[in-house]
Structure formats: structure tokens, C-alpha cells
Amino acid sequence: MRPTGLPAQLYAAYNRHDPTAAGHLYGAHATHDEIAQGGSRQGPEAIAEGLRHFFHWFPDAYGEPLTQIADPSGRVAVTYRLTATLHEPMGAIAARHQPLSLRGVHVLHLARNEIRGSEDYWDVATFHRQMKNTGTGETS
């Protein structure tokens, strides 16, 4: 099943590169956890700020939601494929327009028409392998 409801709205905001709209889908005390990096942001503005950084590095980022699985408690898992090109240096990673093709899973915790929390799972080794290469991206 393709994403619907809040997950579909989140991917629509993401693909418009609208971090403010994406952040507004989160509740006031919501968190977003980047599992691969061990980072966490709390609150809509901090979550939006993280996306602003991401879109600075990857201005052509596109998240293709592939499948949505929901349970009765309000948890929704969305598998996705992220494609992008690194345009700006990212810490120690030099920008050489390296293509990125990365599969992952968002787990969203939904309640009362807002996202209460999210977790993003993707493979950091695949990410680094693709950022070191200047050829075509590889899919995980």
C-alpha cells in the first residue's frame, strides 16, 4: 500500500523541499531520531532545521515512498528510496556531485492528526560508500 494521510503529507513536503511544512506535521514535543547517525531532534523547528541542512547538501533530494504498513496503535512504517546528488561539502565529505540511491524505512508514531515521533533507518555504510565514489550510485 502506498502512503496515505500524514505519511503522504510528510513525503509531499519533503519532495517540495519545504522543511517548514514537514516540521508542522510534528507535535510540539515530537522527536525525530536518525538511527544510523545516532542523532535526535526534538520539536517541529529543530526537525525542520535538520531538513534545511539536508536540502543544502542535497538540493535535488527525492524520497520515493514505496510501501506503508500500519498497526492499530498508530505506528506506521514507510519504506522509501532516496535519490539525490551531493552539491555541498558535508563535513569531511567533499562534494563532487556524487549520486546517492539509498533505501530506508521511516517509522512514524501518529496520534491526533500529528506525528508524535519518527525514526529513520538506513545503512550508513552504503551512504559512505556512495559518497566516496564519483561514479553511479549503488542501491542497498
Dump pLDDT digits (tens) for 53-82: 999 999 999 999 999 999 999 999 999 999
Residue with cell 503529507: 9
CATH topology classification for 5-132? Nuclear Transport Factor 2; Chain: A, (3.10.450)
Which residues fall within 8 angstroms of residue 65, CB to CB, at 6 or more apart? 2, 3, 7, 8, 11, 78, 79, 80
DSSP designation for 15:
H
Over 90: is that where the pLDDT of 39 sits?
Answer: yes
* Per-residue model confidence (pLDDT) at position 132: 92
Secondary structure (DSSP) of 56-74:
HH-TT-EEEEEEEEE-TTS
Task: Yes or no: say if 6 and 25 are a contact pair by the CB < 8 Å rule.
Answer: yes
Show me where the domains of the chain are located: 5-132
* Per-residue model confidence (pLDDT) at position 129: 96
Over 70: is that where the pLDDT of 124 sits?
Answer: yes
